[in-house]
Amino acid sequence: MSDTLINNEKALEDYIVFLRSKFEKDKAIKVSVKSAKTRTPTQNRSLHLFCKQLSDVLNDAGFDFRTFIKEGYPVPFNEALVKEHIWGPVQRAITGFDSTTKPNSKQYTEIYDALNTKMCEHGLYCPWPCIDTLMDKSDKR
Q: Distance (Å, rounded) from C-alpha 100 to C-alpha 51?
A: 12
Amino acid at 98: D
Q: Work out the number of other CB atoms within 10 angstroms of the CB of residue 66.
A: 13
Q: What confidence tens digit (pLDDT) does each residue in 56-76 have?
A: 999 999 888 777 666 777 888
Q: Which residues, 6 or more positions from 10, have their beta carbon under 8 angstroms from its beta carbon?
A: none
pLDDT of residue 17: 87
- CA dist 104 and 37 (Å) reads 6
Q: Would you kindly state where each structural domain of the chain is located, as residue ranges?
A: 1-36, 41-139
Percent of the chain with pLDDT over 90: 45
Q: What is the pLDDT of residues 109-141, one digit of tens each?
A: 999 999 999 999 989 999 999 877 666 655 555
Q: What is the pLDDT of residues 11-25, one digit of tens each?
A: 788 888 888 988 999
